């Protein structure tokens, strides 16, 4: 872990040097105008040059024009194509890719041929040399970036549903666009706008070929024969670009952040006084419990109560602040996850999308160095066990959620782990599959006799499947703890549980079970 | 009621998409078709293959070759270095404020191409550049005496990397973000080391995105003109400079040949993209 961080810093440092040194050098160079001492003469010379002011102003005007035209061209098209004409999408993607594939120089050459008079230079055509053509050329250049910014903005807010909701509320098309859609994608549009501006302000080639004589984006002036002003202009241009891009970054803070879900956790043989603190927040406060080999243990509790953290400490993804985890009498607290010989099934399957079902199941075997023919046999055996024989050539995306989760289970148990960890493996599935799959999981677990820790927030799920249940609660609310206890304590063992999975159940082990409430959060 | 009817009868969909389609036709399709047709037309307006044949002169062939080498080298190096930095920033547990600063900087640097970039490198690695002087006076290394020249193949490649690396980082960052933490954790619980995770899962998943960005970088390097023009003038005979001079009217003395030159550039970048599409189609079998 330390080594990884060292390499990250090293790579970052080398990269930073490559990018920062030229900036420092340019700045230093721009100060050299007065012989023998540093001065800002070059900047004074640039700013006092009337041509700089004129062309700079012109650049800003063209930049704004480009933004307006770009928005008008891109935003309505993206909106309606997303909403009603999805069949046009591939075409739009293709069109917006073209400016990245066809060099700008080639396109400009095409404009000159098409919109100029028959000769190339001097510009005698009626459209050549006008602001209109220059603006349109810049819109083309910025098209891929504007399109992507707006398209991403519309994807994150799910415009289809929003539009339907507004329609049901009685809004007409203009009201929907003006009051619902535009305000929601404003951040995306502005990001695209600033990016467009950054592109226009620093552009040279198109400007030098299409601009009107005597004016032109200010950077055209950089190509003069003077020595130090260009360095000053480069610094100025860098600062302007930075300003535009910085605005995009500021805007990003107003965009909705992608949700990040917490994970749940539970463990195997002996958990002793486990504590986990994140900063000042103690998530797990001294959890202790122990389980027999072959048992199916559930960690039951509301979300945020620390059950995931316990499971992740057993897996080794989190290091306990204090306490110990022992498997088969051996302290594994300091081991890395890949040394613990555990199997884990995740809430969101986490199948490797680039590998087939067979390769996913064989992954752990391959890592362990099992020969290919044995791997094949084991994969076949596993597929039979989970009721998916003949699926080894499929890719994860070709399967339903329930099938994927069964493959994930097979992948976890194929290397015969000492402990199986299930992190809310059923919560992403629909109710019917959930019931059948949990019975299957239980049957497989009993068949193999593998000790299993199962994290869930669903009482019924925990009750129907477990040998023992650890009830966790958020500490603060005693009443919820008591209620949880009582519902589990009585009807469980006798009625619901036995009727649901009586064949799997050993009442004896249930009587032995000690109910524990862990104070957490 | 009647207003409602009128409103409903307005073809919003067509109206909204029309500007985009019009724009695509006027500024992308027609100019490109114009170039293609001009490449096969002689001065009298009749069909000819002479312009294409004219491309096979030693001067033009070598221009294409140098352009392809500069674009290819800067794209490959940009891809590798950019990927390394992105992984270091996102997966290397560096402080998170650093990440947003680096990504903003990448946005700036990827747009910091053209003439200002050329001057920045002249001020750094030119004969009077800061780095050149410091290397000579402090470390006693005279890079120019040992054969380095900013106005050469490697000089141009090093300069191009200034926008190629950030371009790679910006494009690949979402893909790196898309690598789910659970995949790494699943691999670890199955006994895989960090290296094994990257070998069997991480890099194969990133591969299509890396390839796509590689072809994007190639196209951007191949089509770059301002940097090369300002940096090397006509020292280095690359194809964009040739075409630029042609458009300004002082190079080939033959408009048809100019169009052929432009067509050739479209062909080269298209081939790069087709290679990408073919390879990616194979690498993306697991995707929807």
Q: Lay out the sheet containing A322-327: strands in order across.
A: A281-290, A270-278, A322-327, A330-331
Domain membership flag for residue A300: yes
* Partners of residue B94 in chain A, C-beta under 8 Å: 5, 8-9, 12
Indicate which CATH number applies to the domain containing A229.
1.10.3720.10
Least confident of A200-204, A310-314, A488-492, B282-286: A488-492
Among candidates B173, B198, B179, which has minimal Cα distance to B188? B198
Burial of A458 (0-12, 13-18, 19+ CB in 10 A): middle
Look at residue B178 in the predicted model and tell me its pLDDT: 80
Answer for the pair A484, A460: CB distance below 8 angstroms, yes or no.
Answer: no
What is the overall mean pLDDT for chain A? 75
| Angstrom distance (rounded) from CA A37 to CA A210 | 40
Among candidates A25, A303, A13, A451, which has minimal Cα distance to B102? A13
Say what the ipTM of the complex is: 0.83
B7, B43, B89, B111: which to substitute to probe chain A, counting the most A Cβ within 10 Å?
B111
Check B7 against A173: CB less than 8 A apart: yes
Distance of residue B248 Cα from the nearest chain A Cα, in angstroms: 7
Find the residue in B nearest to A356 (Cα): B286
Inter-chain CB pairs, A–B, below 8 Å:
342
Answer for the pair A235, A37: CB distance below 8 angstroms, yes or no.
Answer: no
| Angstrom distance (rounded) from CA A36 to CA A40 | 13
Listed by number, the residues of chain A in 407-426 with a beta carbon closer than 8 Å to a beta carbon of chain B are 408, 411-412, 415, 417, 421
A305 shares its domain with A161: no
Domain membership flag for residue A386: no
CA A440 to chain centre: 32
Check B109 against A100: CB less than 8 A apart: no
* Partners of residue A204 in chain B, C-beta under 8 Å: 114-115, 226, 230
Question: Residue A416 — left, alpha, or beta (φ > 0 → left; ψ -120 to 50 → alpha)?
Answer: left
Burial of A431 (0-12, 13-18, 19+ CB in 10 A): exposed
Check B183 against A23: CB less than 8 A apart: no
Answer for the pair B223, A103: CB distance below 8 angstroms, yes or no.
Answer: yes
A74 shares its domain with A128: yes
Domain membership flag for residue A387: no
Report the residue from A102, A120, A354 with minimal CB separation from B205: A354
Distance of residue B25 Cα from the nearest chain A Cα, in angstroms: 10
Element (H, E) at A447: helix A431-448
Check A19 against B119: CB less than 8 A apart: no
Look at residue B164 in the predicted model and tell me its pLDDT: 93
Residue B74 touches partner A, C-beta closer than 8 Å: no
A76 shares its domain with A166: yes
Domain membership flag for residue A145: yes
Distance of residue B92 Cα from the nearest chain A Cα, in angstroms: 5
Report the residue from B103, B114, B287 with minimal CB separation from A397: B287
Q: Please check the confidence at residue A142 and state whether its pLDDT lies above 80.
A: yes
A147 shares its domain with A93: yes
Beta-carbon-side half-sphere exposure of residue A150 (alpha carbons within 13 Å): 29
* Partners of residue A346 in chain B, C-beta under 8 Å: 182, 185-186
- Higher-confidence position of B104 and A214: B104
Look at residue B160 in the predicted model and tell me its pLDDT: 93
Q: What is the mean pLDDT of residues A178-201?
A: 82
Distance of residue A225 Cα from the nearest chain B Cα, in angstroms: 11
Domain membership flag for residue A379: no
Check A80 against B17: CB less than 8 A apart: yes
| Angstrom distance (rounded) from CA A193 to CA B167 | 18
Among candidates A472, A507, A8, A40, which has minimal Cα distance to A267? A472
pLDDT tens digit sequence for A367-426: 888 888 989 999 998 898 888 888 889 888 888 888 898 899 898 888 888 889 998 888
* Partners of residue B230 in chain A, C-beta under 8 Å: 204, 222-223
Q: What percent of chain A has pLDDT over 70?
A: 80
| Angstrom distance (rounded) from CA A295 to CA A448 | 11
* Partners of residue A109 in chain B, C-beta under 8 Å: 31, 35, 243, 247, 258-259, 262
Residue B59, classed as helix, strand or coil, is helix
Residue B44 touches partner A, C-beta closer than 8 Å: no
* Partners of residue B266 in chain A, C-beta under 8 Å: 101-103, 106
Residue A56 touches partner B, C-beta closer than 8 Å: no
Check A105 against B269: CB less than 8 A apart: no
Look at residue A507 in the predicted model and tell me its pLDDT: 30
Which residue, A252, A285, A309, sits at the end of a domain?
A252
Q: Please check the confidence at residue A315 and state whether its pLDDT lies above 80.
A: yes
Report the residue from A85, A114, A368 with minimal CB separation from B34: A114
Answer for the pair A361, A348: CB distance below 8 angstroms, yes or no.
Answer: no
Q: Lay out the sheet containing A296-300: strands in order across.
A: A342-345, A419-423, A451-456, A296-300, A468-473, A517-519
Among candidates B131, B160, B161, which has minimal Cα distance to B143? B131
Distance of residue B182 Cα from the nearest chain A Cα, in angstroms: 6
- Higher-confidence position of A477 and B130: B130
Domain membership flag for residue A261: no
CA angle A106, A112, A114 (to 5 degrees): 100
A163 shares its domain with A307: no
A242 shares its domain with A284: no
Question: Residue A99 — left, alpha, or beta (φ > 0 → left; ψ -120 to 50 → alpha)?
Answer: alpha
Check B119 against A234: CB less than 8 A apart: yes
Indicate which CATH number applies to the domain containing A487.
3.40.50.300
Listed by number, the residues of chain B in 145-164 with a beta carbon closer than 8 Å to a beta carbon of chain A are 161-162
Q: Note down the domain range covering A290.
A: 270-341+418-519
Domain membership flag for residue A219: yes
Q: Please check the confidence at residue A118 and state whether its pLDDT lies above 70.
A: no
CA angle A513, A433, A456 (to 5 degrees): 35
Confidence of residue A471 (pLDDT cuts 50, 70, 90): confident
B23, B190, B233, B264: which to substitute to probe chain A, counting the most A Cβ within 10 Å?
B190
A201 shares its domain with A92: yes
Burial of B55 (0-12, 13-18, 19+ CB in 10 A): middle
Question: What are the structural domains of chain B?
Answer: 13-48 (no CATH), 59-283 (1.10.3720.10)
Among candidates B206, B183, B285, B202, which has minimal Cα distance to A398? B285
Check B286 against A350: CB less than 8 A apart: no
Element (H, E) at B182: helix B181-189
A210 shares its domain with A286: no
Residue A513 touches partner B, C-beta closer than 8 Å: no
A331 shares its domain with A198: no
In DSSP terms, which residues pair with A242 in a beta bridge? none
* Partners of residue A170 in chain B, C-beta under 8 Å: none
pLDDT tens digit sequence for A455-467: 888 888 888 888 8
Report the residue from B119, B189, B204 with minimal CB separation from A343: B189
A139 shares its domain with A48: yes
pTM: 0.72
Ramachandran angles phi, psi of B41, nearest 5°: -120, 140
Confidence of residue A120 (pLDDT cuts 50, 70, 90): very low
Answer for the pair B261, B246: CB distance below 8 angstroms, yes or no.
Answer: yes
Listed by number, the residues of chain A in 265-324 with a beta carbon closer than 8 Å to a beta carbon of chain B are 315-317
Report the residue from A80, A104, A234 with minimal CB separation from B223: A104
Instruction: Give the residue ranges of chain B where pLDDT is below 50.
Output: 1-7, 288
Residue A29 touches partner B, C-beta closer than 8 Å: yes
- Higher-confidence position of A160 and A15: A15
A239 shares its domain with A170: yes
- Higher-confidence position of A66 and A59: A66
Look at residue A215 in the predicted model and tell me its pLDDT: 45
Domain membership flag for residue A367: no
Which residue, A192, A225, A252, sits at the end of a domain?
A252
Residue B133 touches partner A, C-beta closer than 8 Å: no
Q: What is the mean pLDDT of residues A36-45?
A: 84
Look at residue B122 in the predicted model and tell me its pLDDT: 87
A91 shares its domain with A215: yes
Q: How many domains does chain A have?
A: 2
Which residue, A252, A278, A311, sits at the end of a domain?
A252
B103, B191, B273: which to substitute to probe chain A, counting the most A Cβ within 10 Å?
B191
């Amino acid at each position: 872990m330390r080594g990884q961080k060292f390499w990250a810093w090293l790579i970052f440092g080398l990269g930073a040097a490559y990018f920062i040194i030229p900036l420092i050098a340019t700045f230093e160079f721009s100060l050299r105008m007065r012989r023998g001492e540093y001065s800002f003469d070059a900047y004074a010379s640039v700013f006092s040059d009337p041509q700089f002011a004129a062309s700079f102003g012109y650049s800003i005007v063209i930049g704004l024009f480009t933004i307006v035209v770009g928005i008008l061209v891109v935003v309505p098209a993206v909106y309606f194509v997303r909403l009603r004409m999805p069949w046009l999408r591939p075409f739009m993607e293709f069109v917006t890719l073209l400016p990245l594939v066809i060099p700008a120089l080639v396109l400009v050459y095409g404009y000159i041929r098409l919109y100029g008079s028959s000769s190339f230079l001097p510009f005698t055509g009626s459209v050549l040399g006008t602001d209109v053509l220059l603006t349109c050329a810049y819109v083309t250049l910025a098209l891929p970036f504007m399109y992507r910014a707006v398209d991403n903005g519309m994807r994150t807010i799910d415009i289809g549903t929003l539009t339907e909701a507004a329609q049901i509320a009685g809004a007409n098309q203009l009201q929907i666009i003006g009051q619902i859609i535009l305000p929601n994608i404003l951040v995306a549009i502005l990001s695209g706008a600033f990016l467009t501006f950054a592109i226009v302000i620093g552009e040279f080639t198109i400007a030098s070929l299409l601009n009107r004589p005597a004016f032109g984006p200010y950077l055209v002036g950089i190509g003069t024969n003077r020595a130090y002003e260009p360095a000053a202009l480069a610094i100025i241009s860098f600062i302007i670009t930075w300003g535009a891009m910085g605005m995009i970054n500021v805007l990003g803070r107003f965009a909705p952040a992608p949700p990040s879900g917490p994970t749940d956790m539970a463990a195997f043989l002996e958990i002793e006084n486990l504590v986990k603190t994140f900063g000042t927040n103690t998530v797990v406060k001294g959890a202790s419990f122990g389980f027999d080999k072959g048992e199916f243990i559930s960690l039951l509790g509301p979300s945020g109560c620390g059950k995931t953290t316990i499971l992740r400490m057993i897996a080794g993804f989190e290091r306990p602040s204090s306490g110990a985890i022992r498997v088969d009498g051996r302290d594994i607290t300091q081991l890395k996850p890949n040394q613990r010989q555990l199997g884990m099934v995740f809430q969101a399957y986490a199948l490797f999308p680039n590998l087939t079902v067979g390769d996913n199941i064989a992954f752990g075997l391959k890592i362990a160095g099992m020969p290919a023919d044995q791997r094949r046999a084991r994969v076949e055996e596993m597929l039979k066990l989970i009721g998916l024989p003949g699926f080894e050539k499929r890719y994860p995306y070709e399967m339903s959620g329930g099938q994927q989760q069964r493959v994930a289970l097979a992948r976890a148990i194929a290397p015969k782990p000492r402990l199986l960890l299930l992190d809310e493996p059923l919560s992403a599935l629909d109710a019917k599959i959930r019931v059948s799959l949990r019975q299957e999981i239980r049957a497989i677990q009993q068949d193999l006799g593998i000790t299993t820790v199962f994290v869930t927030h669903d009482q019924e799920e925990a009750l129907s499947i477990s040998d023992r249940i650890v009830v966790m609660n958020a500490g603060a609310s005693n009443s919820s703890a008591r209620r949880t206890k009582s519902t589990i304590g009585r009807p469980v063992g006798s009625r619901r549980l036995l009727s649901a999975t009586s064949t799997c159940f050993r009442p004896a082990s249930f009587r032995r079970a000690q109910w524990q409430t862990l104070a957490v959060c | 009621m009647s207003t409602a009817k009128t409103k409903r009868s307005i073809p919003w969909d067509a109206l909204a998409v029309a500007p985009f389609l019009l724009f695509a036709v006027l500024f992308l399709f027609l100019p490109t078709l114009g170039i293609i047709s001009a490449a096969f037309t002689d001065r009298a307006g009749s069909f000819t293959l002479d312009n294409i044949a004219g491309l096979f002169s030693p001067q033009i062939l070598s221009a294409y070759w140098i352009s392809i080498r500069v674009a290819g080298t800067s794209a490959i190096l940009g891809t590798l270095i950019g990927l390394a930095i992105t992984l270091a920033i996102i997966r290397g547990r560096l402080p998170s404020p650093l990440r947003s600063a680096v990504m903003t900087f990448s946005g700036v640097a990827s747009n910091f191409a053209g003439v200002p970039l050329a001057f920045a490198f002249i001020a750094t690695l030119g004969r009077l550049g800061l780095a050149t002087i410091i290397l000579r006076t402090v470390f006693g290394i005279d890079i120019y005496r040992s054969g380095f020249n900013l106005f050469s193949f490697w000089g141009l490649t090093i300069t191009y990397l200034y926008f190629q690396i950030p371009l790679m980082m910006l494009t690949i960052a979402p893909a790196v973000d898309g690598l789910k933490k659970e995949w790494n954790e699943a691999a670890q619980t199955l006994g895989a080391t960090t290296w094994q995770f990257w070998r069997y899962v991480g890099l194969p998943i990133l591969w299509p995105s890396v390839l796509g960005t590689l072809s994007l970088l190639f196209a951007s390097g191949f089509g770059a003109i301002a940097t090369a023009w300002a940096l090397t003038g006509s020292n280095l005979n690359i194809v964009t400079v040739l075409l630029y001079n042609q458009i300004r009217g002082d190079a080939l003395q033959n408009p048809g040949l100019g169009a052929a030159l432009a067509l050739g550039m479209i062909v080269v970048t298209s081939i790069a993209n087709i290679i990408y599409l073919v390879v990616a189609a194979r690498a993306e079998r697991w995707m929807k």
